[in-house]
Chains A and B, each alone.
Chain A
């Protein structure tokens, strides 16, 4: 099975063939995956070298010229290094782009802190006009990418890819979709957290709802699902990133909320993504422990 990054490059290459206004901007990362597309469309596949500020600004300039840019690199270089370009050269201009990152929170665990960006969604969330989608499986990537490019007339989208994926894909849906039903709590699993969540709560009497779309957040869907009072958010990035929206959606209803995600401390450990998932309580064992503590 191809990973999300490979599927993304193939889908974006198809979009370049189909849509004369689609464009891709790169800063070396993944340039090899776009070599054939660049040969077919040299004027719309731009590799600016290792220049992430320029990469995002060029995306903004292309949008001002009427194109539909897809801008892509590692999450920390796309969102954190070039944050003012995202804020000003896209949002403030009223220019729109699809930003597609790889690396997620700790896909590059062995590369260390420089290649990790658990804060990315929280940062993008401060920029007006951005949707955020987090695919949970490579097979969900084509439709999510195409929807994001198709929506550029009205909004930008941040697409957060990861090497971590659920065991199987689900149909793409803009809000929460129920995977299994229960009575004691609603557990919301974002993107690739679904498989570990299902493993963690297999014998518990809880509802599990899945979503790939975190901005806008489906607060209405959460209200509709909640029969009791307990909510657990399981996000693959900084813990609590969507807590304020869950709280807002449930304002006026007595509820208790547990927000699971990546911790804020810097671990200074290398190793594998699975090891980091365990350190952050993001594996099935850690999620189960947290949910049981919360419910008892």
Chain B
């Protein structure tokens, strides 16, 4: 198994870039903490109904995701070099039908959270009450109205096995006002926390907590506007 320090090297195999800008790595720490400390998943239980489900809704810039999946043994590292090419299983947006361990195909924004609501319901209906559904969204992705449908509904029915991680790099053109993203979830009955998206201990603590309703963790990272200056 690889370490966190080896992830940039795996990303370089994919992108060819020696350095990775904030946009490419905005999800890197969250993904690592999830797969390293939080999610009850592993390559040998891909079809275990009782596994946790991680849904990468923000499918853009998946190099960090593939790097973590390779580091944790879900996919061979040999797949990384062909990233995005005709024969590769690894596209610029991930496809669950092509990549082991990938729970949804994403790319078009605003689909992961509504799918996660159905998945959370389905796990409860099957009596799989210890499995949790984690959905990673971007702050600008929340512009999509389909998320609002899911946020209000999930709060109202109290889906306590659902957790959303909003990676906030302040890329939404109109933002979320003084209360931030968390205010929009909290008003619908979600518990919410904001932590640094680079602080592994804080992320692990916030992502492991559970309560009586759905939970939001805002993972704050550097603004997208600084991309290219790193």
In the complex, whether A104 has a CB less than 8 A from a CB of chain B is no
User: Are the C-beta atoms of A54 and B149 separated by less than 8 Å?
Assistant: yes
- B-contact 0/1 string along A23-67, CB 8 Å cutoff: 101000000000000000001101011010110011111111111
Q: Choose among B105, B121, B122 the residue that contacts A92 (Cβ–Cβ < 8 A).
A: B105
In the complex, whether B2 has a CB less than 8 A from a CB of chain A is no
User: Are the C-beta atoms of A67 and B126 separated by less than 8 Å?
Assistant: yes
Residue of A nearest to B114 (CB): A57
User: Are the C-beta atoms of A66 and B116 separated by less than 8 Å?
Assistant: no
In the complex, chain B residues whose CB is within 8 Å of the CB of A62: 118-119, 121-122, 125
CB of B181, distance to nearest CB on chain A (Å):
19
Given A48-B149, A48-B153, A57-B150, answer yes or no on A67-B122 (Cβ-Cβ < 8 Å): yes
In the complex, whether A13 has a CB less than 8 A from a CB of chain B is no
Given A64-B119, A89-B115, A94-B96, answer yes or no on A53-B146 (Cβ-Cβ < 8 Å): yes
User: Are the C-beta atoms of A23 and B125 separated by less than 8 Å?
Assistant: yes
User: Are the C-beta atoms of A65 and B123 separated by less than 8 Å?
Assistant: yes
In the complex, whether B202 has a CB less than 8 A from a CB of chain A is no
User: Are the C-beta atoms of A54 and B150 separated by less than 8 Å?
Assistant: yes
CB of A125, distance to nearest CB on chain B (Å):
21
Give the one of A59, A63, A67, A69 with max B CB within 10 A: A67
User: Are the C-beta atoms of A88 and B105 separated by less than 8 Å?
Assistant: yes
CB of A177, distance to nearest CB on chain B (Å):
37
CB of B188, distance to nearest CB on chain A (Å):
12
- Chain B binding surface SS class: helix
Residue of A nearest to B151 (CB): A54
Residue of A nearest to B156 (CB): A49
A60 to B104, CA, bound (A): 10
User: Are the C-beta atoms of A46 and B111 separated by less than 8 Å?
Assistant: no
CB of B217, distance to nearest CB on chain A (Å):
20
CB of B189, distance to nearest CB on chain A (Å):
14
In the complex, chain A residues whose CB is within 8 Å of the CB of B124: 43
A58 to B97, CA, bound (A): 19
Query: How many B residues have CB within 8 A of the partner chain?
Result: 30
User: Are the C-beta atoms of A65 and B111 separated by less than 8 Å?
Assistant: no
A85 to B150, CA, bound (A): 13
A21 to B49, CA, bound (A): 14
In the complex, whether A93 has a CB less than 8 A from a CB of chain B is yes
In the complex, whether A84 has a CB less than 8 A from a CB of chain B is yes
Q: Choose among B95, B116, B128, B145 the residue that contacts A61 (Cβ–Cβ < 8 A).
A: B116
A179 to B115, CA, bound (A): 44
User: Are the C-beta atoms of A54 and B117 separated by less than 8 Å?
Assistant: yes
A44 to B117, CA, bound (A): 13
CB of A54, distance to nearest CB on chain B (Å):
4
A246 to B166, CA, bound (A): 50
A65 to B97, CA, bound (A): 15
* Further 19 A-B residue pairs, CB within 8 A, beyond A53-B145, A60-B118: A25-B118, A44-B125, A48-B149, A51-B149, A54-B146, A54-B153, A60-B115, A61-B114, A61-B115, A62-B121, A64-B104, A64-B118, A65-B125, A67-B126, A69-B118, A85-B146, A93-B96, A93-B97, A94-B96
Using a CB–CB cutoff of 8 Å, the interface residues on chain A facing chain B are 21, 23, 25, 43-44, 46, 48-49, 51, 53-54, 57-67, 69, 84-85, 88-89, 92-94
A–B Cβ pairs within 8 angstroms, 6 of them? A48-B153, A54-B117, A54-B150, A62-B119, A62-B121, A67-B125
